[in-house]
A and B are shown apart, each in its own frame.
Chain A
Amino acid sequence: MEDILANINGAAVKKFGAEYSETRAQKLYKTMLTLKEGRVEAAKQGIENGVALRVLVDGAWGFASVGSLNAVTLMNAVSNACKMAKTASSRLKTPIKLAETKTVTGRVHIKPKKKPSAILMEDKINTALSVNKATLGYDKRVKSCTIDYLDLTGTNYFSNSQGTHIEQDKLYVWSRVTATAASQGVFTFSREEIGSTAGYEVFDAEPPEVIGETVAKRAIEQLDAKPPKGGKSPVVLGPNVVGVFVHEAFGHLAEADLALSGGVLMNNLGKKIGSDVVTFYDDGTIPGAFGSFKYDDEGVPTQKTLLIKDGVVTGLMHNRETAEEFDAEPTGNARAEDFRVEPIIRMRNTFMAPRDRSFEELVEDIRSGYYFKSFRGGQANLDGTFQVGIQEAYEIVNGEIGDPVRNASISGNTLETLLKVDAVGKDFELWPGRCGKGQTAFICDGGPHIRVKEVIVGGSA
């Protein structure tokens, strides 16, 4: 494989006029399940392979994806990609250049305790069935339970015209459980996800029964919950919500491509935009975490990147193209979902660093506010407007956690809200998730409990 890819890159540079060429071949194996109320809709398996070819010609990108490892097919595709790049370059004002990186020769082999491929389909179905049983058995008002399961294994082969060759195993285990409950015309919905790059042993740490019960309990609790009051409010955010807040309200803006597109961090590099207790990282090195990997899809080693320290913006997440533009080091954030798409800047495991407060200390000074414990979706905008939907929430009344609240969301502007983070807890949790930016990336986010003086709570009451 290495020889074929090197050959293609060589031809791109020597024969077809590319100043840079990279090839990324993949062999992928998937197992998937969907269960609805314990009915196995289908047990699914997939095998695929393909190559992504990316070339830089006269400062413009050409990209081709083919579902084949055939040398002749690849040679035709790279020749075509070079022609297309040349065409695209015809109206270019500022040619694209790439930051220098060290040439890497690497082999990364993952050694899971429990290889997903060694677990029988029957056993995977049985695990899902126990989640289902725990969910539906929790309370008869739980009306439905959908379980999706995916394991993805395979090998990435990366090679570029600068001499980098990397062979890297890929392993993801993911599952999502959703439940709905209904009673007296009230419908509620609850979701939980697990995800790991370690192996099938993730189900030892997260027993199926516990996952099922967590999902069901939340759906049931919301049946008696009331809608929140819309308007400004002090809030305590749990690690699961903090993670999405860090990811949406700050993380996307710290992706260098979005900063260059006019995102609000562009004019705030090196400036203080948060309170003293705000420190964020994006870290691709956490063993087993859903957003971890050794090398990114441009062959750059991953790292732990400090984004904001004590309220001051210290760095952005880069690929080789944006690193050159900022005169910075590439941070290993270039990721592609698979060989069908080009690598773009993506987060890995993004989190807020813990400090020193206990949960009680965060809550005790709030006379009237909300505790937002678990999220349901979130989205950001370049001007710093963020929204995080909440699937589990409680009132805070006179310093105590009160009644459950349903279908809330929070919103605000990043530049205002980070200054309003006034206390940060000493606990820490990291949660797996999936991020959409045209492509899907597996990520984690998290942090400790925090208190925010004021956000806008979207509520119908």
Chain B
Amino acid sequence: MAVLKKEQMLHLAENAVKSALKKGAAEVEAYAYEGQATNVGIERGQITKSNRIIDRGVGIRVAVNKAVGFAYTNIIEEPKVVESTILKALSAARASKSDPDWHGFPEKKVYATAEKLFDPKILELRSEGLVDLASSMLDAAVSVNKRVFPIEGGVGTAYLSSAVANSNGVAAFDRGTMIECSLAAVAKEKNRVTPVCFEFNAERAYDVDPEWVGKEAARLAVSALKTKQIKTETTQLVLTQFALQELLYFTFINAVKADNVQRNQSPFQGRVGEKVASENVTIHDDGLLPAGLRSWAFDGEGAPQQKTTLVEKGVLRGFLYDNYTAKKDGVESTGNASRAGYLSTPSIGATNFHIAPGNKTPDQLMSEVDDGLIIYYLQGAHSSNPVSGEFSVVATPAWKIRKGEITHSTRGVMLAGNIFEALKNVSIVANNERKMWQLVAPWVLVENVRVIGK
């Protein structure tokens, strides 16, 4: 597939910087982006489609008198449009208000190299190859049990590249690849249908296991067929990575963003050095994790990505910074300016939010559960109170555990509590870590969670 070369991307970004300076910008940053994605899609039990999306563009941020303006366009093959986009960024800045806390764009720095982020084999995969992978996933799912109905999924590859240039002399290019297989399935018996069960496997290198994804989604769906209600109680929960990702994304991850800390909307404000979680919990944000799904050399404004300790044995150690919030606190950016392609200005985001694995195997962890639930999928985590960390969500399906063994599935169980309290009650962290979008984590066992049965 034809992608823009490093020189072309850098040229686009650097030219925009030069031109904006000529047009009167005090400071400029240009972010050039290219994303090419190919996907083969599954719908309702069969492969029905193939998609190819090419998206390129440039986003230009300028500062005039400490007021910031931004403009973007995807019409990069027309120099006139890029020029008028620069003018739009300037006019937006002039219409905007000065910000006394604005201290400019990042300075030029040396980047570390994150490993295993680019695999040329992924670029060579055509839709034929993707159809083969998707078929093997579908066949594997249906082979588990006749009652399994794969409803949606697919196999997709992506090539992403970005170039950042700014008026402090930053001029950087990075590129990477991604491949993902995913399958959502239900199991059907007579007129009854299970809740949706989902599995996926995403990697930076051509090293995915579509058969495992198909089998696992199917296994979970079938095991959700037989269901029993449970009673309201305070109990032990095994949180799998799906549940952790949902619960942490809308609460804890927000609480460690410096922006929220500075703006009085994080319970962690002023608490660095204090115990905020059980001593079993150690968390890093690792922007350089080898083969990490969100590992890159630099962030959305050209600051080096790095490994940042957030929680060490339960003690809060630090926050996630972009350049703006770092300057405000008199520290260095942690490389957490994240960006939705060229369409937006950066905002603080986690890279690979890594909960350090413990020593116990998942079986050993399960054997510690006398009476509890194992939680995969949650509904409504986005309705958590993002500031207080209070959640009130539905786990469906969930599975009952007695004396270390899964006994049956259950539906519509509500979990209510506070994520910050829950982290203090983490009694075991297992050793089965996996990558789940921005989360990299193993299973954890949490004590004393309120469960509302039907």
Q: Which residue of B lies closest to A67 (CB)?
A: B74
| Cα distance, A385 to B411, chains bound together (Å) | 8
How far is B41's CA from A62's CA once the two chains are assembled, in angstroms? Answer: 10
Residues in A whose Cβ lies below 8 Å from that of B412: 385, 411-413, 456
| Pair B91/A121 contact, Cβ less than 8 Å | yes
Would A125 and B416 count as touching, CB distance under 8 A? Answer: no
Residues of A contacting B386 with CB < 8 Å? Answer: 189
B56 lies within 8 A of chain A by Cβ: yes
B416 touches A387 (CB 8 A): no
Per-position binary interface string of chain B over residues 256-283, scored 1 when its CB falls under 8 Å from any chain A CB and 0 otherwise: 0001000111010000000000000000
Residue-by-residue, is B36-47 near A (CB-CB < 8 Å gives 1, otherwise 0)? 001011011111
Residues of A203-246 contacting chain B, CB below 8 A:
227, 230-231
In the complex, A66→B97 CA distance in Å? 36
A383 adjacent to B396 (CB under 8 Å)? yes
Asked if B144 is at the interface of the complex by the 8 Å CB criterion, the answer is no
Which of A37, A48, A121, A261 has the most C-beta atoms of chain B within 10 angstroms of its own C-beta?
A261
Q: 8 Å CB contacts to B: which residues of A29-63?
A: 34, 36-37, 39-50, 60-63
Contacts of A42 in B (CB 8 A): 61, 68-70, 92, 96, 345
CB neighbours of B263 from chain A (8 A): 36-37, 143-144
Q: Does A92 interact with chain B (Cβ within 8 Å)?
A: yes
Q: Is A156 an interface residue (CB 8 A)?
A: no
- Contacts known (A144-B263, A230-B416); A61 close to B95, Cβ less than 8 A: no
A-side contacts of B162, CB under 8 Å:
none
Known contacts: A340-B55, A409-B383, A458-B452. The answer to whether A96 contacts B131 by CB under 8 A is no
How distant is the Cα of A40 from the Cα of B99 in the complex, in angstroms?
8
Q: How far is the CA of A36 from the CA of B263 in the complex (A)?
A: 9
Measured CB to CB, the closest approach of chain A to B375, in angstroms, equals: 14
Determine if A377 and B74 form an interchain contact, defined as CB atoms under 8 angstroms apart: no
Q: Which stretch from A105-113, A179-187, A355-363 is at the chain B interface? A: A179-187
Give the secondary structure class of A's interface: strand
Count B interface residues, CB 8 Å.
91
| A65 touching B264 in the complex, CB below 8 Å, given contacts A48-B74, A264-B193 | no
Name the B residues within 8 Å of A257 (CB-CB).
Answer: 43
Alpha-carbon distance between A81 and B55 when the two chains are bound, in angstroms: 16
Hey, which chain B residues are within 8 Å of A180, CB to CB? 264-265, 387
Measured CB to CB, the closest approach of chain B to A272, in angstroms, equals 16
List of B residues within 8 angstroms of A94 by Cβ: 46
Q: Which residue of B lies closest to A121 (CB)?
A: B95
Q: Is the CB of B53 within 8 A of A65?
A: yes
| Residues of chain A lying within 8 A (CB to CB) of residue B384 | 389
Task: Determine which of B48, B89, B152, B452 lies in contact with A45 in the assembled complex, contact meaning CB atoms within 8 Å.
Answer: B89
CB distance A88 to B75 under 8 Å? no
- Closest A residue to B100 by CB, please name it: A39
Specify which chain B residues have a CB less than 8 angstroms from the CB of A37 in the assembled complex: 263
Q: Is the pair A409, B380 in contact by a Cβ cutoff of 8 Å?
A: yes
Q: Which of A96, A263, A387 has the most CB of B within 10 A?
A: A387
Residue from the list B135, B265, B392 in contact with A407, Cβ < 8 A: B392
Task: Verify if A137 is at the interface (C-beta below 8 Å from B).
Answer: no
A387-B394, A411-B412, A456-B414 are known contacts. Are A40 and B68 too (CB-CB below 8 A)? yes
**A94 vs B48: C-alpha distance when bound (angstroms):** 9
B89 pairs with A377, CB closer than 8 A: no
List residues of chain B with CB within 8 A of the CB of A61.
Answer: 41, 48-50
A257, A264, A340, A460, most chain B CB atoms within 10 A:
A460
Shortest Cβ gap from A379 to chain B (Å) = 4
Roughly how many angstroms separate A43 CA and B194 CA in the complex, as a whole number?
47
Cα A40 to Cα B344 in complex, Å, equals 15
Bound-state Cα–Cα, A85 to B50, Å: 6
* Given A61-B48, A460-B418: A39 and B99 interface contact (C-beta under 8 Å): yes
What are 6 A-B residue pairs whose CB atoms fall within 8 Å in the complex? A39-B97, A43-B68, A44-B70, A45-B92, A187-B387, A407-B390
Which residues of chain B have a CB within 8 Å of any CB of chain A? 38, 40-41, 43-57, 61, 67-75, 77, 81, 84-85, 88-89, 91-93, 95-97, 99, 101, 126-128, 131, 135, 149, 151-152, 186, 188, 191, 193-196, 232, 259, 263-265, 267, 343-345, 379-380, 382-388, 390-394, 396, 411-412, 414-418, 450, 452, 454
What would 7 more interface pairs be, CB under 8 Å, given A84-B127, A262-B149?
A43-B95, A46-B71, A46-B343, A66-B54, A67-B54, A121-B92, A125-B95
3 A-B pairs closest in CB distance: A389-B383, A377-B383, A387-B380
